[in-house]
Chain A
Amino acid sequence: MSNLEKYVDAFKETFMVQDSDLSDLKYQDIEAWDSVGHMALMATLEERFNVELDIDDIIEFSSFEVGQSILAKYNISMS
């Protein structure tokens, strides 16, 4: 599974959303991505990519798109 697939999968499983909803999905856009959902998403990503996200990165992780650039800082490239 590619990094992008793993990333997409984490969102789909945590928030039960479709691929088509993802590209412009932002924190608190949908009911599922509230603070509880955010914590679940961070835990899933940390587990799947075997990283520990920095506090600033957890706070800055405000959308599907921004998340990709944040993970890039941990040498997890989506392309």
Chain B
Amino acid sequence: MSYLSIRNLSVRLKGGLPLLRRVSLDVAAGEVRGLVGESGAGKSMIGKAVLGILPPAAEITEGEILLDGADLLRLSPAERRRHIGATCALIPQDPLTALNPSHRIGPQITDRLVDILGWTRADADARARALLAEVQIPEPDRVLRAYPHELSGGMRQRILIASAFAAEPKLIVADEPTTALDVTVQKQILKLIAGMQARHGTALLFVTHDLGVVSKVCQQLSVLYSGMVVEDTPVRDFFATPRHPYSAALLAATPKYTDPSAGLNPVPDAVIEAVRAEVAAFDRRAAHG
């Protein structure tokens, strides 16, 4: 029984343009699923739909999002918020903009515990301290009292990770959590997320455009093109034998840093045309009901 189960989820901009086309995927408890695709393929949109933070211009037109057995789309807005807040968390992309500049760090880690889950302030503070130790931040007392602008980007991302794990969520959506960071910091953060995920047994929906990251942390993988899942496969099989031509081309396009003389291999036009034709065929079927 998977913890998160998305069935035939379609999202479009109000008034037309489809963003997700009948997307289905499952994330079992404690499993890590990667979502890859080009910019605009809809990979972030899936995470946003699960967390109930789709932009106001987007609307869900069909499908189900089953989270711990409950269909989010059938819950009242208040019930949905509570259910998501209690079971899920987000590790955002840009640590520089994801912390509130006018609140101290401490309350930003503990607010959900106290306000939504009803912990006592003392318990929540102790929890925050333990989390900071776990993400290897020294001087927890100073950091908890600091404002975001006093800390570096890497520190802030560690804090956001700590904050995401604060309520022991069953599912975390990591939305390109290393993209905005310095290359030297990326690796440490990635290791940190993978380590925390394994220790806490949290299911992870890992949005990325980096197949190298996928090979390191993910067990399952969904490849998206134009809001459509073109391949859903265990990661091991994907790197050995990608089944969809677009997936294969994407894999071949990954730059090999070990060989500086090798040029870039963009996805061939023929493959793009073929996958576009698939999308067009899907839309025709959808139009005819």
Partners in one complex: no
